[in-house]
Amino acid sequence: MSQTVSTLLLRNLHDVFGEIDPVRRRAAVDEIFHADAVFYDPNNGVFRGRDEIDRIAGVIKATHPDFQYRPIAPPEETGDGGRVRWVSGNPGQPPAYAGTDFIIARDGRIAALYLFFDELA
């Protein structure tokens, strides 16, 4: 299923890295990532393929199971790329950290995901 860059950005944020249930997370990974997708994480390294992206998303979520990702601006698109800026933390509390996700899409799926951590305002 082909999806817009903006949809892919938000689904990655909520349905992959924000999802605690491993079955739902894996289903989302299979739907929105190419089989050969690459995730670049400045803290943990490079992860190639759906299996590794699913695994590291679960590891990251397990460190803060109650945290929720909240976009702080609408996703932006240009060509086959896009970005979304977000904050994360416990609901009802100030954010614990912030970041920006950049993706490159190919045929309506994520081919590459780049994570950058941002300073909190």
Structure confidence by residue, pLDDT tens digits, 87-96: 999 999 999 9
Coil, helix or strand at residue 100: strand
| Contact assessment for residue 60 and residue 73, using Cβ atoms and an 8 Å cutoff | no
Domain 5-118 - what CATH class? alpha beta
**Helical pair 22-32 and 49-63, crossing angle rounded to 10 deg:** 140
| pTM of the complete model | 0.95
Q: What is the pLDDT of residues 10-67, one digit of tens each?
A: 999 999 999 999 999 999 999 999 999 999 999 999 999 999 999 999 999 999 999 9
Other Cβ atoms within 10 Å of 13 Cβ, number:
21
